[in-house]
Amino acid sequence: MRAGFPDFRLGSVLATSFTGTLSERHGDAVERIPTPRRLADWLVLNGLAVDSCTAAQLGLARELREAIHAAATAAAIGNPLPSAAVQVINDRSAQGRAAAILTLEGKRQWRLSPASPVEDALGVIAADAISIIAGERDGKLALCASPTCRAAFFDTSQSRTRKWCDMNTCGNRQKKARFTANHRKKPRPAE
């Protein structure tokens, strides 16, 4: 972590981890990629090795992030997909030229082109979003139950009943709130 910047929340699904770089959208929003450097840091941590980003590329990334958020939210609640958001996702996907590489250890890596590594990385994220919104992967899009969050997340639990985008933040906060409420309800012991 870099001092002075909000931490990243890392998840197992690339596209929704990316939308999580803006959290608490319905409360006190936290921008976790406030600078081009932080976008580069996030991409590197997620297996998309870029050296640096420009302010314009940060703009493209945030536009893609909000498009994925809008489309995933619509998909989660069964609404028609917003066409402007779909256009942005498709543009980023089409512009990316990343190659999937199989390592000898049997892992997938992304090879980004030297000429446009950030655009290629955004293309990988856009393609990941397409695969979950299109329902190609085992799981279900849902919205976080926290009223200040409402992040779209990809539920891969067996029962498909996950309520929170992240157990360590939203889930935990709710648990604590319930605990405090229960505690207050109990009558004070007689003195």
Does 68 engage in binding with Zn ion (CB under 5 A)?
Answer: no
Biggest CA pair distance of the chain? 75
How is residue 179 written in tokens? Answer: 């605990």
Does 146 engage in binding with Zn ion (CB under 5 A)?
Answer: yes
Does 144 engage in binding with Zn ion (CB under 5 A)?
Answer: yes
Residue 117 near residue 51, CB atoms below 8 Å:
yes
DSSP state of 32: S
Q: Which is nearer to Zn ion, 25 or 62 (CB)?
A: 25
Q: Which is nearer to Zn ion, 11 or 95 (CB)?
A: 11
Q: How far apart are CA 126 and CA 143, in angstroms?
A: 19
- From the CB of 144, what's the least distance to Zn ion, in Å? 3
Q: How far apart are CA 133 and CA 154, in angstroms?
A: 9
Binding test (CB under 5 A) with Zn ion, winner from 48, 112, 165, 174: 165
Does 170 engage in binding with Zn ion (CB under 5 A)?
Answer: yes
Applying CB under 5 A, the residues found at the interface with Zn ion are 144, 146, 149, 151, 165, 170
